[in-house]
């Protein structure tokens, strides 16, 4: 990707935020106090919400308790279930934007195509779908699970019926009485399969790897509890603290995989309880250590797969024909619709192949096969640019929103430092390298590298560049104090 040259620049902002999901909205709320009126949010879609706008498939919900999967500075006492449904989370985000007066600053249908650093003017030049803008600081809040992946399956374009991905659910297709193929058994598939199984004529599930599925224990939150959460001082904070602590303790097993045997016993019992057919049980038994891939939660998935209108095919899909799907063993399955629950393109962070430094090199090229960022947020050579959900920000054991909150604290302090010094700020290459080495050391011996699976947590070089491998408290400790010695400040006249 080569950077393009600006034509006419239409406006200038102190801070431009790209993306209006959880991260972008959080950034706007936390950072606008620093910058007052000149904050703009560019969003490529027609409304806010990020993954919670796009993923409206049947059964879509979070898999971390909502009390924790929400901002501590914007708590809600309206959650109707332990794990909020997609529509509730989307509404929470829309309310957040409205309540904090962000709507006038959000430019929807404004995809950012590229960004280039103009060192002479100490500003970013943004090429958007609707013209050029500039900004002193940029927060990249473009998510990491925003772009769906359809596997490159032979013949997929020849299929006669509807084909869609779970994150682009085609609500115009009536699945009742249809023969449906579902490809993939990840976090989305285990949510929508139990919802469509009762209405379809037959459901054939194509699985490459059986996931570990644990009891979800989702409960409605009663009206009285909701009232208490809203009115009794400290009650919501206490319930959040309890859930937080329980999840932090679980990190021990990810870091010492032998402890995962305890969870595996529970997982196998969960499967035995729901599936009596030994052949099906065998197919659904994972062959890697629990936690190596994301642990999934469902009380409905196994019972749905045990129904007579469902069959599970191991080994995945070999090809698609105009009338059906051919499995890896050559078996032919005639179907009316194909749904992909195959997850997202996590091989690169969105837009980073179009963020250019002062010499025209893209961030993705500067990384090569393995993304690296200081505190998962700032990148040497890319001043005044902050990645939310950057390298090593995703989590395997708890809510990523708490990582965002720590990041926002760091960004706020870094920006303030730059503003006070009337210059631009970036981490030193040494600070970034040292932080990456810490990540590698922390990752060593964890279930993510030793669990015997292949997962999106590891990049093509085999390195963990996706997950923060430590505790939330550990990350917060690193971000809570700003360390000027780890940063380069360049004043607008170019001096350091
Ligand atoms: C179905 C699903 C369930 C999940 N459940 C959980 C959970 O329970 N717990 C958990 O911790 N995490 C969960 N996650 C992970 C989730 O990605 C994060 O929790 C979080 O919501 C990500 O927020 P974000 O703002 O970083 O990214 P996103 O929500 O992806 O938002 C990014 C935004 O940027 C916009 N954008 C992208 N590129 C451009 C561009 N070039 N120009 C302008 N705008 C652009 C997108 O349109 C989007 O609105 C889930 C993810 C999915 C898909």
- Which residue, among 59, 157, 147, has the nearest Cα to 111 in the 3D structure? 147
Question: CB of 204 closer than 6 A to ligand 1?
Answer: no
Strand order from edge to edge, sheet including 332-334: 317-321, 324-327, 332-334
| Helix (H/G/I), strand (E/B), else coil: 489 | strand
Q: What is the pLDDT of residue 379?
A: 98
Lowest mean pLDDT among 234-238, 280-284, 295-299, 406-410: 234-238
- pLDDT (mean) for 117-133: 93
The model's confidence at residue 2, banded by pLDDT at 50, 70 and 90, is low
The model's confidence at residue 6, banded by pLDDT at 50, 70 and 90, is low
Lowest mean pLDDT among 156-165, 198-207, 223-232: 223-232
Which ligand 1 atom lies nearest to the CA of residue 389?
A: 26
Alpha carbon distance, N-terminus to C-terminus of the chain: 30
Query: Average per-residue pLDDT in the chain?
Result: 93
- Centroid of ligand 1 to alpha carbon of 481 (angstroms): 27
Pocket mutation for ligand 1, best pick of 60, 143, 390 (most atoms within 8 Å of C-beta): 143
CB 139 within 8 A of CB 24: yes
Q: What is the pLDDT of residue 454?
A: 86
Which ligand 1 atom lies nearest to the CA of residue 113?
A: 41
Give yes or no for residue 180 having a pLDDT over 90.
yes
What is the reported pTM?
0.95
- pLDDT (mean) for 337-341: 96
Whole-angstrom Cα distance, residue 390 to residue 371? 8
The model's confidence at residue 494, banded by pLDDT at 50, 70 and 90, is low
- Centroid of ligand 1 to alpha carbon of 152 (angstroms): 24
Q: Which of 79-88, 147-156, 218-227 has the highest mean pLDDT?
A: 79-88
Question: CB of 188 closer than 6 A to ligand 1?
Answer: yes
Question: CB of 446 closer than 6 A to ligand 1?
Answer: no
- pLDDT (mean) for 165-186: 96
Give yes or no for residue 347 having a pLDDT over 80.
no
């Amino acid at each position: 990707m080569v950077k393009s040259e600006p034509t006419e620049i239409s406006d200038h902002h102190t801070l431009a935020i790209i993306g209006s999901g959880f991260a972008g909205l959080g950034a706007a709320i936390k950072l606008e106090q620093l910058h007052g009126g000149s904050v703009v949010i560019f969003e490529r879609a027609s409304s806010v919400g990020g993954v919670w706008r796009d993923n409206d498939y049947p059964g879509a919900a979070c898999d971390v308790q909502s009390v924790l999967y929400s901002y501590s500075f914007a708590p809600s006492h309206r959650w109707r279930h332990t794990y909020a449904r997609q529509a509730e989370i989307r509404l929470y985000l829309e309310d957040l934007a409205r309540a904090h007066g962000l709507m006038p600053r959000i430019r929807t249908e404004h995809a950012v195509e590229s960004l280039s650093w103009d060192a002479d003017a100490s500003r970013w030049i943004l090429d958007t779908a609707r013209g050029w803008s500039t900004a002193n600081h940029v927060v990249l809040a473009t998510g990491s699970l925003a772009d769906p992946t359809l596997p490159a399956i032979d013949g997929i374009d020849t299929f006669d019926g509807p084909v869609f991905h779970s994150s682009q659910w085609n609500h115009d297709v009536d699945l009742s009485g249809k023969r449906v193929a579902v490809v993939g058994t990840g976090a989305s598939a285990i949510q929508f399969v139990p919802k469509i199984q009762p209405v379809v004529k037959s459901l054939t599930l194509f699985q490459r790897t059986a996931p570990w599925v644990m009891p979800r224990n989702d409960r409605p939150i009663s009206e009285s509890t909701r009232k208490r959460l809203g009115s009794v001082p400290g009650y919501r904070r206490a319930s959040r603290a309890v859930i937080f602590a329980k999840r932090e303790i679980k990190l021990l097993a990810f870091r010492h995989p032998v402890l995962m045997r305890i969870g595996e016993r529970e997982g196998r019992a969960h499967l035995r309880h729901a599936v009596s057919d030994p052949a099906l049980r065998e197919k659904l038994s994972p062959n890697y250590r629990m936690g190596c891939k994301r642990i999934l939660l469902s009380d409905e998935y196994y019972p749905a797969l045990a129904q007579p209108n469902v069959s599970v095919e191991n080994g995945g899909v070999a090809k698609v024909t105009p009338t059906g799907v051919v499995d890896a063993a050559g078996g032919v399955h005639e179907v009316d619709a194909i749904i992909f629950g195959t997850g997202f393109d996590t091989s690169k962070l969105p837009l980073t192949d179009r963020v250019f430094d002062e010499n025209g090199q893209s961030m993705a090229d500067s990384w090569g096969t393995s993304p690296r960022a200081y505190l998962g947020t700032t990148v040497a050579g890319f001043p005044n640019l902050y990645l939310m959900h950057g390298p090593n920000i995703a989590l395997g054991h708890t809510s990523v929103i708490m990582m965002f909150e720590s990041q926002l604290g760091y960004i706020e302090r870094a920006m303030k430092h730059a503003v006070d010094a009337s210059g631009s700020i970036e981490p030193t290459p040494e600070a970034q390298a040292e932080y990456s080495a810490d990540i590698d050391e922390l990752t060593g011996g964890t279930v993510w590298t030793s669990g015997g699976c292949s997962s999106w947590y590891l990049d093509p070089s085999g390195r963990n560049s996706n997950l923060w491998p430590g505790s939330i408290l550990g990350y917060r400790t690193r971000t809570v104090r700003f360390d000027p010695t780890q940063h380069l400040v360049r004043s607008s006249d170019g001096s350091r």
